[in-house]
Structure 1
C-alpha cells in the first residue's frame, strides 16, 4: 500500500533538505521520491543529511515539471498556503494521512507535494492538487523546514496505515477488485480533460481567453473535488467532443447509427 505513495519536492533549492526529506520518508516506510527541477542534485550534502536513506536518493526520479511528476496519480495533496482568491478543499495532516491511506488501499497512486523553501507552490501548481494540506503550526513561528514538513505528513500517513492494520478493509478490497472504469482518473488524464474543456469553452464563446476571470481555476476545483473516475471521464470527453462538433456546424450522429 505505501509503495503507491510518492513524495514530490518542487524546486528544492538546498540539497540538504532533499537528504533530510529522504530520511524522514524512510523513518515512516515511504520510499518513492520525485524531485521537480531541483537546484542541486545529486549533491554530497543531500547524501550526508540522508544518513542511512541513501537508497531513496539513489532511486529518486528527477523531472522537469510538476505535471511530469504527477503522471499516473489519482489523488494529489499539496502542502502549501491556499490561493486566497479561490477557496480550495483543505485538510489538516491527520485528515490527509487518512485520505492518503484510504486511496492507496484501493491501489490508486497518491502524491504528497511540497513546495519551494522560500515561496511554496505557485497558484498554478496548487490548482493541480485535489486538496491543500495546512500544518497548524504556531502563528508566531509558522515556517517549517521542508524536511520537517515531510516528516509530519509521512508520520500521519504511517499512523493512518497502522490504524488500518496495514491492509485494505473489506469494502476497500472489493473496490480494488472492481473494474478499471471505477478507478479515479489520473492527473495526466485530468490535465488533458482541462485542456479539452478550455478549448471547448473558448470555441462556444463561454470563455474569453483575454478575460478568463479565474474560470478554469474554479472548474478545476469543481472537478477536483468530484473524484471523477475513468468511466465518467470518458463521458465528459465525449460530451466535449460533440459540443465542439455542434459549434462547428457538424451534424450529430449517434454511435449506434
Structure 2
C-alpha cells in the first residue's frame, strides 16, 4: 500500500480533502498529494478527516499535476467522461490487479482525481497512462470526490487484503466430554417428556448427535441448550402437578 499515492488536483472545498484523508486511512493508504488546493491547511479539512490528521499533516503540496506524478510508473486518471481519450477506459475491478502487480514489484502508482465540479482537464488526463471510471447509475452518476476515492481505495484493499477474521470474537468450542454430558442430559429429558420412546428409540439419538456435532457448538451455546432442557423438565413438572392433585383427590385412600 505504501507504493500508492492519491493526488487531488485543484480541490475547491477543504472538506473534501479531509474526507479523502479519512477514506484513505480507512483503507490503509497514507500518501496524499494536493495540487494547488484552494484552501489548505484548513480546520474544516481537519474536522472531516476524523482522526486522519496524520494523512493531512504529511500531505505533499504541489504546483502542478506533472510535479505530483513525478517518480510514478503508473498514473491512473479518474474520469467519468470519454472525451478525446486514447487509453481504454476500465473499471476499478478490472484495473486494480495490474496496479497491485506494479506496486508489488516496487513501482509507484498515482491515483489522480480532478476538481469536484469539472473533473480533470484533457491535458491532465493525457499525462496518465491508465484511465478508470466507476460504473454508476447512468441516470444519476454524481459521486462526491471523497466517495470516488473511497470506492477505488476499497477495491485496492479488498483485492489485496480480504481477510476480516480479526473482527470475529473467538469463543471456546465445547469439548468432547462437555458434549457427551449434554447428550446424556438430552436423552434423559427426551425420555421424561415422552418424545423418545424407550421401546422404539430407532435412530433418534444418533441423528441428534450428528446434528450437534456438525454444528460444532461453542461451550456457551451448549450451556444455553442445557438450560433449555432444564426449563423443559421444570415446565413438565408444573404441567403435571394439577393432574396429580386431581387424581389424589379421587383416591378413596386419601379420604
Q: Check whether the contact 1:77–1:111 (CA below 8 A) recurs between aligned residues.
A: yes
1:28 equivalent in structure 2: 27
Q: Check whether the contact 1:76–1:130 (CA below 8 A) recurs between aligned residues.
A: yes
Work out the CA distance in 2 between the residues paired with 1:28 and 1:88. 27
Deviation string, structure 1 residues 216-246 (Cα, Å, up to 9, x no partner): xxxxxxxxxxxxxxxxxxxxxxxxxxxxxxx
Equivalent runs, 1:162-241 vs 2, <5 Å? 162=161
The verdict on how the C-alpha distance between 1:110 and 1:40 changes in structure 2, with shifts beyond 3 A counting, is: same
SS in 2 for 1:62: strand
Using the TM superposition, give the Cα deviation of residue 86 of structure 1 relative to its aligned residue in structure 2, in angstroms: 3.7
Q: TM-score, normalised by structure 2?
A: 0.62
Equivalent runs, 1:39-58 vs 2, <5 Å? 39-58=38-57
Bigger Rg, structure 1 or 2: 2
Work out the CA distance in 2 between the residues paired with 1:82 and 1:70. 21
Using the TM superposition, give the Cα deviation of residue 100 of structure 1 relative to its aligned residue in structure 2, in angstroms: 1.5
2:123 equivalent in structure 1: 124
Q: Check whether the contact 1:97–1:159 (CA below 8 A) recurs between aligned residues.
A: no
Compare 124-133 and 94-103 and name the one that shifted more.
94-103
Using the TM superposition, give the Cα deviation of residue 103 of structure 1 relative to its aligned residue in structure 2, in angstroms: 0.5
1:79 equivalent in structure 2: 78
Deviation string, structure 1 residues 146-205 (Cα, Å, up to 9, x no partner): 0000000000010121269xxxxxxxxxxxxxxxxxxxxxxxxxxxxxxxxxxxxxxxxx
Q: TM-score, normalised by structure 1?
A: 0.61
Deviation string, structure 1 residues 113-144 (Cα, Å, up to 9, x no partner): 00110100000100011111110111121010
1:67 equivalent in structure 2: 66
Using the TM superposition, give the Cα deviation of residue 81 of structure 1 relative to its aligned residue in structure 2, in angstroms: 3.2
Work out the CA distance in 2 between the residues paired with 1:139 and 1:9. 25
2:98 equivalent in structure 1: 99
Using the TM superposition, give the Cα deviation of residue 89 of structure 1 relative to its aligned residue in structure 2, in angstroms: 1.8
Q: Check whether the contact 1:82–1:132 (CA below 8 A) recurs between aligned residues.
A: no
2:189 equivalent in structure 1: none
Of structures 1 and 2, the one with the larger relative CO (CA 8 A, separation 6+) is: 1
Determine whether 1:153 maps to 2:152.
yes
SS in 1 for 2:77: strand
Structure 1 gap segments, 5+ residues each: 165-257
Work out the CA distance in 1 between the residues paired with 2:40 and 2:89. 32
Work out the CA distance in 2 between the residues paired with 1:94 and 1:83. 19
2:88 equivalent in structure 1: 89
Work out the CA distance in 1 between the residues paired with 2:116 and 2:153. 18
Q: Check whether the contact 2:80–2:134 (CA below 8 A) recurs between aligned residues.
A: no
Using the TM superposition, give the Cα deviation of residue 87 of structure 1 relative to its aligned residue in structure 2, in angstroms: 3.5
Work out the CA distance in 2 between the residues paired with 1:96 and 1:39. 31
1:15 equivalent in structure 2: 14
Work out the CA distance in 2 between the residues paired with 1:86 and 1:152. 23
Work out the CA distance in 2 between the residues paired with 1:117 and 1:154. 18
Using the TM superposition, give the Cα deviation of residue 82 of structure 1 relative to its aligned residue in structure 2, in angstroms: 4.2
Root-mean-square deviation (CA), in Å? 1.4
Determine whether 1:111 maps to 2:105.
no
Instruction: Give the count of matched residue pairs.
Output: 163
1:141 equivalent in structure 2: 140
